[in-house]
Structure 1
Amino acid sequence: MEERLMSAPVLFEELAAGNGKLGRITLSVAATLNSLTLEMVDLLQEKLDAWATDDSISAVFIEGAGEKAFCAGGDVQALHQSAVEKPGGPCDYAEAFFAREYRMNYTLHTYAKPIVCWGHGIVMGGGLGVMAGCSHRVVTERTRIAMPEVTIALFPDVGGSWFLNHAPGKTGEFLALTGASINAADAIYIGIADRFIASDHKQAVIDELLAQQWSGEPERNHALVRHVLRPFAEQSISASPAGQVEPHAATIAQLLDGEDIHDIIDRITGQDTDDPWLAKARESLGHGSKLAAQWIHRQLWETRHMGLADIFRAEIQLVTNIVRHPEFTEGVRALLIDKDRNPQWQYSASRDVPQDVLDSFFTAPWAENPLADLG
């Protein structure tokens, strides 16, 4: 039994905490930077559902094993294999993965009990979906976040259509189009994290959570979590890195002030800058899929006023169409499988994409949305 638990991809503990319990979740596949598989998604969903109705569980703490990453995303190689095996779809594994992952993300966003996410190290893709959905999101001096989906012909999903549309100004769309890397200060600025706490306080944070006298009322327990985290954040101010997004916000607004998506792409890829962060963003979009850039832009526009459940329904529609299309498999091949970094995109320029091709990604590929019952 002990050996099975130690080899499980997600570890669960129920720790005595005052007059209640703290549920502790550890994404435990450090060798793959804790990247999510369908098995891990299902384990998370099952435990979150069980703890939601367990009166002894007062709060939840979620972390990643090792020092390198909280979670570097989904198991893209497995998704690629699923897409390659059945071109045009249905891609059974990939489509099941995304539907169940988004359902788990929605559960996190709407969870009544406090969930503390320790977002240390690399946080990308599916990991960002987990962190963004938690109610108390902690980032550290080693947090590194990116949404580089344009480089593999995907889009910032797992609720990205929600949190990027809620970022200040045009910063969310800029990050979505360019995959620009951001740190802890940036995460707090754009609204996907709540507090910066230096990583060496982690055990002390857990100890304080375990020492609380928890209430039977979730609202009171959220207040207790804030009470615990606040002093550690105040002690960590001097260790916080300088942000990149806020200082560049005015420039980002100018770059995104285009007539249409084609003009925006031209502005970003054509900028004459020696600023390293902007230059890297320029190159990322320049080498990314122009078809993907178009569906990223359109997805953010079409979901800008949607509620959370509708956003996940829109995301599952788009991602299902994407995994059935060869642009995605080519992007993953070039970046993550063969690693030649030379994707043969179907269109060399965004203006070459026929309107009906773009429209097809926003057309339901099935009779009923698999997340129809969400919310």
Structure 2
Amino acid sequence: MSDSSVVFEERDAGNGRTVAFALLNAERALNSLSRAMIDSLQAQLDAWAKRDDIVCVVLHGAGEKAFCAGGDVIGLYKAMTATGDAPSADAEAFFAHEYRLDHTIHRYPKPVLCWGNGTVMGGGLGVMAGASHRVVTERSRIAMPEVTIGLFPDVGASWFLGRMPQRIGLFLGLTTTPMQPGDALWLGLADYRIVSSEREALFDTLTGLDWQGERNADDAVLARALRDFEDVEAANDARRESALFAHQQTIARLTDSATVAEFQARLAEQAEADAWFAHGAKAIAGASPLSLAVVHAQLARDPKLSIEDVFRRELAMAIACTRRPDFAEGIRALLVDKDKNPQWAPATLDEVAPEAVAAHFRLPDDYDRHPLGDL
């Protein structure tokens, strides 16, 4: 092991086969992704993809608290505030590189196992969502809290939130409601629930599997191994106990709203009757009005976009966010000064102009080509 923020390891699996491991090694920052970590992962995944001996890639995080708590938003804050009113090339490039990495995982030619233990938020869920074999544990807590800092659910969330039943994805994006392991299993964000203490035993087992060096066969080999470690009864219990499953009809009714303001009013009323909705009601009341309107437009649009088009559209949205004040202001209020008193612009939903929302869905005129046009 080393002090690197991403640690790569290759383990001999016999018969000329190798299992590769990538450890997010920024435990004090809950393994949040910096630009350096993103670029390091991209380069290594690209190299492993070309090697015939690599039969599986494992993604995991240092420590027990988090797989990955998202992107390095403090670094983004510094990049955005350093340029004053001018666009931040570094902030915009961060998102382009992050989304390229996520796309790489979605389209990876080998099985990718993601060990989603602990906190999995924002950019962490973007990494996990694209993996072919996604594991949650009893410690997993998953969320997309971006509207609280003036952003939107990105990293491919248009894809995975937009495909959830009963408009649950829209509900999660607007309310930042955290998901438990059973929620993730039921909604298809995770495939297996394995006890966290089994990690090393599972990882050791991977090198003794009958890998074939062929994608479909190796997907099945890995799936069988994961099922052997899974307590199926506990996983099924977790699915049945999903609060999102239990509340899906109410969520469908609440999100059947023409505007965010209508949804917020319905949610506030529902929170009075059912305390489970109180978190969402409080979160949406303090979120960026413009971000909320953008998310409503984002997740109400055609969910049948290809994953490539999803990332291209989300990059345009992210660039727009870096060029308006709410994103930096939200980070400042929540994570820098920590006064929890963001001064949003505009300050209310009533003041959000339709054109301001629409502007998020196209690249700025100063881009002559799309940074993700080659996906």
Q: Same fold per TM (> 0.5)?
A: yes
Residue number in structure 2 paired with 1:345: 344
Q: Do the aligned partners of 1:72 and 1:125 also contact (CA within 8 Å) in 2?
A: yes
Partner of 2:28: 31
- Structure 2 match to 1:7: 3
TM-superposed CA distance for 1:224, in Å, is: 0.2
Please name the residue that 1:372 is paired with.
373
Q: Is the 8 A contact 1:23 1:59 kept in 2?
A: yes
SS of the residue 2:369 aligns to = coil
Cα distance change of structure 1 residues 132 and 352 upon mapping to structure 2, 3 Å threshold: same
2: CA distance between counterparts of 1:276 and 1:62? 36
The answer for the alignment partner of 1:245 in structure 2 is 244
**Separation of aligned partners in 2, 1:89 and 1:320:** 12
Bigger mean CA offset, 272-281 vs 158-167? 272-281
Q: Point out the more displaced range, 16-25 or 217-226.
A: 16-25
The 1-side partners of 2:266 and 2:67 are apart by: 34
Contact kept, 8 Å, 2:271 with 2:281, in 1: the verdict is no
Cα displacement (A) at 1:327: 1.0
- Normalised TM-score (structure 1): 0.95
Give me the whole-angstrom Cα distance separating, in 1, the residues matched to 2:106 and 2:293.
27
**Distance (whole Å) between structure 1 residues aligned to residue 331 and residue 315 of structure 2:** 19
Equivalent AA in structure 1 for residue 196 of structure 2: S
Q: Which amino acid aligns with 1:300?
A: L
Runs (4+) off by over 4 Å: 238-241
Give, as a single letter, the amino acid of the residue that structure 2 aligns with 1:370.
P
Aligned sequence identity (%)? 44
The residue type paired with residue 327 of structure 2 is F
CA-CA distance at 1:272 after TM superposition: 4.0
Q: Which amino acid aligns with 2:304?
A: H
Match of 1:71 among 65, 68, 93: 68
Q: What is the CA-CA distance between 1:275 and the residue it aligns to? A: 3.4
Instruction: For residue 116 of structure 1, give the secondary structure of its aligned residue in structure 2.
Output: strand
Which of 138-147 and 17-26 deviates more?
17-26
Structure 2: state its 5+ residue gaps: none
Residue 206 of structure 1: aligned partner: 203
**Runs of at least 5 residues in structure 1 that lack an aligned partner in the other structure:** none
Deviates more, 1:294-303 or 1:173-182: 294-303
Output the CA distance in 1 between the equivalents of 2:356 and 2:30.
35
How much has 1:262 moved relative to structure 2? 2.9
Q: Which residue number corresponds to residue 325 of structure 1?
A: 324
CA–CA separation in structure 1 for the residues paired with 2:39 and 2:88: 18
The residue aligned with 1:336 is 335
- For 2:356, the equivalent position in structure 1 comes to 357
Distance in 2 separating the partners of 1:91 and 1:44: 23
Q: How far apart, CA to CA, are the structure 2 residues paired with 1:235 and 1:358?
A: 44
How many residue pairs were aligned? Answer: 370
Which residue number corresponds to residue 157 of structure 2? Answer: 160
One-letter amino acid of the structure 2 residue matched with residue 29 of structure 1 = A
| TM-score, normalization by structure 2 | 0.95
Q: What is the SS of the residue equivalent to 1:59? A: strand
**1:92-120 CA distances to partner (integer Å, 9 max, x unpaired)?**
22111110110000000011200100000
2:42 is the counterpart of 1:45: yes
Cα distance in 1, alignment partners of residues 273 and 30 from structure 2? 32
CA distance in 2, matches of 1:135, 1:276: 36
Give a deviation string over 1:249-306, Cα, whole Å, max 9, x none: 1110111011233322322234343534311111101111111100011112235221
Shifted more, 187-196 versus 65-74: the winner is 187-196
- State the partner residue of 2:263: 264
Instruction: Give the direction of change, closer, same or farther, for the CA distance of 1:116–1:78 in structure 2 (3 Å limit).
Output: same
Distance 1:213 1:283 in 2: 51
Q: Partners in 2 of 1:258 and 1:190 — Cα distance?
A: 22
